[in-house]
Each structure stands twice: as structure tokens, then as C-alpha cells.
Amino acid sequence: MEEDIQLRHSYIKDSKGEKMETVRKTKKMIGLLIFLLIVFFLFDRITWLFRGNEIEGREDIVGIRKERNLDVILVGGSDLKSFFRPLRAWKDYGFTSYNYGTSGARFDLYKYFIEDAQKGHRNTKLYVINIRTIPYVVDEVAEQSTRNWSDSLPVFSLTRIKALYSYLFSRSEEGVDRLSYFLDIINYHNNWTAAFSSTQFKFLKVNGFRNVDKGITITREHVPLKKPDKFNYEGKLTKRQKDAIDEMLNFCKKEKLTVLFTCAPVVFSQDEHLAVNAAIKYIRHKGFDCLDLNDHYSDIGLDFGIDYGDVSHVNYLGSIKYTNYLCDYLSSHYNLPDHRKDDLYMAWWKDYYDYEKQETEILAEINGKVADHLVAYETGLDLHNEYEWENWWRKTENSNYTVVIVSRANNNEEIFPESLKYYADKHNILLGKSSVAIYDGGNYVDSTDGARILEMSIGIDGGRGTDDLVVDLKGESPRISISGYNYYKEEGELQVLVYDRNYKEILDNIVISTQGNKINITR
């Protein structure tokens, strides 16, 4: 009996010891877990401080976390962000929307864009997905565009990790430092300027901050474009492009998302356009809605000569037209609510009025640029009708022009008219000598006595490329060459060529000859 009691006491003692050991181990594990969580949190915060200030669209990725009850989330790259204006949609239609995207974003990452957006927005009624970047789904890693997104998320975000793994390890490109994407502080560790910048501290807010503009990027530039040709046939999707589309469609089905695929009206190359056409046909074949806005230039009211900042982005004027058209389409095809009289959405009115304050200034700036470019162009076209020398050259004093001035060698040491000498002195030209001077955008660029060749790129690019200017007076065949065409003329004491930088056209190309005090213009 006594032995049984001792055994029971021993058992109880051992049980208590085991329980205490279990508790001790559990506490130790909890403590370790808390320690690791603190380390991970601090590492994430430090990484945020060092991340580069050059990341485009970071506010738009972080800012969505502060939004609530978004009816529509638009997913894409910088073209999406320049085209659609969520706050105008709110004012005119009453549904809430947000542009979730970054500059250069790649289509094969969009699935993860949506997955990240869903974390705070499980009840979003519609996703609008831009397929503009389908042609760029290639084997090469698009570093900057990938970092624009991945370096805008918490370091240890599961969505971020999955996206980087899927994107980086599906490509065979050599020399890619994949670790620096996952632990991006490797890329930014010397960025002490950013670490102590006040702009960086706002990103330390775990839940984000209110992004008043809702992801819009207003393009304040004006680049005149020609209405692009529409290719009504399609090319062939690569396996990688087709797989990326299939992955997106399967994800949308699994998540039971209501989705509209769109393609913004941009100026494509032929290869890009054929790839996009193939993608549109394939998406529709799979039973999904796809709106190709390149079929609706007239319906939208787009004027390519006025509404664009470059080939891929509309300016402020174009964004208004596009937003109005797309909102009409969404309202008529989807059951979107109107919250404008709902007290729960008063913050949207505040954001609208805060942002509206900028619109008057933006509109004035864009209209000013458009008017300036149009007036300069029309003035340039009128140069052909001007034969009074002083009137002519004063009309060419415009920042929208590139002006090439060439003086011929003249051994007669002729006495030149005063107005011509004034012009030559003003523009660094040696009358009677072989010399060249170039002014671009109203600014002096270069000059020479003819002993060397002058070369430069001219014209506002806007995604259209520039023209190559070559001035060569050395050889037996002198030339003023623009994109391979020679505009050089043999006659006269002076030759002046005027080129419109915005419209990329030769406006006038004159020869100046003198007879005593008389100055003659010939073309």
C-alpha cells in the first residue's frame, strides 16, 4: 500500500514536471516567435526607409489599403493611370474606383496585383484589367517595372513573395540578382538620402494613407500625334503570353470575379497591335468581356493632335474624354451603385474638392501648351508667305523650333546689310565665312567655322523617336541632313532651315542673298 502511494506521488511529480517542461518550452517558443516577429517588423520598417525615392506609383499601391468599399478597381500600368480619373467618375456617376497600377507594369503580374488589392476589398463589384502590356510579356526581366510594384509592398508579404518567385524563376535570363528583389534592401542599402527623407516616413504607416487622387497620374505635356492606323487582323501569341492570359482567366474564375478586360487607345507599333488583337480574340473566345477602346476613337472624341502627352498616355484633356466614355460604358453594362448622397461616403467628396483645386491650374497649363504649339506651327506654315527678311527671322524666334543657320564662304569681302550683320552676330554666325550655328528650342546648341561635323537629335520624342540632324560642310558634298534627307542648298550668302520640334516637320528652308542693302529671300 505504501509503495502504491509512493508510486502515485512519483507519477504525479513526474506529470507535473512534464507539464512544467511543456509550459517552459511553449513559453520559449512563443518568446522566440515574438522576437522573430519584432525582427521581421523592424527589418520591414528599415527597408521602407531605404527604398528608393525613384519608385513610380508607390503611393498608388500603398494608398489602396486606406480605402474602403471600392466598387471598381482598375488594374494596369501607367497608361491606365493617365487615362482614368476615379474622382471624376465619383462626381459624375457616384461609384467608387481606384487605379491600382505602376509605371511599366507587366501583365503576368496582374494576378498578384488583384490578390493584393483583395486583402481589403473582398466585395469589389468589378475589376477592369488593361491588357496593353501583353506584348511585353517576354523572357527578359523588366527590372524597374517589377520593382515599382514589389518594392511598394511589405517585404514579407506572401503575395509579394509568390509574385516574385513566379515572375523571376519562370525566366531564363542570366545575370539577374533575384535575391535583391526578395530582400530589396540589398539594392537600396546605400540610399541614406532616402532614409532620412520626410517623404519616406509616410510609408511607415502600416495601414497606408489616404491617396487623394486615387491613383491618377495627370500628364501635363502635349505631343501632337497622327491618328494611328487600325490593324484589323491579329498576330500569334507566344506560349508565354498565352500562359499568362490563361493564368489570369483561371484566377478570375476561381475567385468568381466580375471582370472587364480593356485596351487603352494608344499608338502601337504594328507588332504590338497584332499581339494585342490576338489577346483580345483569345480572351473573348474564353468567354470574358473585352473592350478594345482603339475601336472607339470617334465615340470617345479623342483628338490625337491635342489629347496626348506621348504615344502611350493621354494628357489631362484626353483623360476627361476617356473617363466620361468608360464611365458611360460601365454604368450601362454593370450594376454599379451611386453613393453620392450616402453619408458613409462623404470622405470621397472631400477628396474630390481637394483634388479639384488643382484642375483649374492643370487645365490652364495644358491649354496653354496646346495653344502655344498650334500657334507656333501655324506661324511656321505661314513663313512661306513672308519675304521681308526682318519679319521672317523674328517669326522664327520660338522655343518650338530648331533653327539651322549656314553661312557660305565669300572671298569678295562684301559689305553686308546692317540687319543681316545684326542677325549673324546675334546667332554666332561668321558672314562671308563657312560657318554653322544650331538653335534648338530657342537655346544655342553649337556652332563651328565649318571645320567639323555637327550632329544631334532633334524633335520632341513622345515615344515616336527623334530625327537625326547632321550638318557637314567639310566634304565635296555639303549637307544639312535630317533623317537621311539632304536639305542643303548651294546658293546665297546664308541658308536658314526651320524645323518644328513638336510636329517634326520642316516649316521653311530659305536662302538669303544680298544686293547692296537689299536682302532677298528665295526658296
Average pLDDT rounded to a whole number, residues 409-414 = 64
Q: Both 326 and 414 in a single domain?
A: no
CATH of the domain at 147: 3.40.50.1110
Highest mean pLDDT among 172-186, 318-332, 472-486: 318-332
User: Above 60 in pLDDT, residue 214?
Assistant: yes
Per-residue b/e over 327-349, b at no fewer than 16 CB within 10 Å?
A: bebbbeebebeebeeeeebeebe
> At which residue does the C-alpha cell 470622405 appear?
347
How many domains is the chain partitioned into structurally? 2
Q: In this structure, is residue 14 part of a structural domain?
A: no
What does the alpha-carbon distance between residue 64 and residue 113 come to, in Å, rounded to a whole number? 11
- The answer to whether residue 267 is domain-embedded is yes
pLDDT score for 120: 87
Residues 316 and 397 in one domain: no
* 140 and 260 fall within a common domain: yes
Residue 33: Cβ-neighbour burial (10 angstroms; 0-12, 13-18, 19+): exposed
In a domain, 26, yes or no: no
The whole-angstrom separation of Cα 33 and Cα 25 is 12
Label residue 346 by pLDDT band (50, 70, 90): very high
Both 397 and 322 in a single domain?
no
When pLDDT is averaged across residues 147-169 and rounded to a whole number, the result is: 95
CB distance 451 to 461 below 8 Å: no
Same domain? 306 vs 417:
no
Domain stops at, among 353, 371, 400: 353
pLDDT for 130: 97
The per-residue pLDDT for 412 is 57
| 365: in domain | no
Query: Are 89 and 233 in a shared domain?
Result: yes
- Range of 219's domain? 51-353
Residue 357 burial (10 A CB sphere; 0-12, 13-18, 19+): exposed
Range 372-399 average pLDDT: 95
Enumerate the β-bridge partners of residue 447. 437
pTM for the model: 0.87
- Per-residue HEC secondary structure of 269-290 comes to CHHHHHHHHHHHHHHHHCCCEE
Q: What is the mean pLDDT of residues 38-55?
A: 78
Whether residues 331 and 393 fall in one domain: no
Within-domain flag for 18: no
Eight-state DSSP code of residue 54:
T
Q: Mean pLDDT throughout 80-102? A: 96
Helix (H) / strand (E) containing 455 = strand 454-458
- Is the pLDDT at 1 greater than 70, yes or no? no
Would you report the helix, strand and coil content of the chain in percent, each value rounded to 5? Answer: 45, 15, 35
Predicted confidence (pLDDT) per residue in 437-487, tens digit: 999 999 999 999 888 899 999 999 999 999 999 999 987 889 999 999 999
Instruction: Report whether pLDDT(108) > 70.
Output: yes
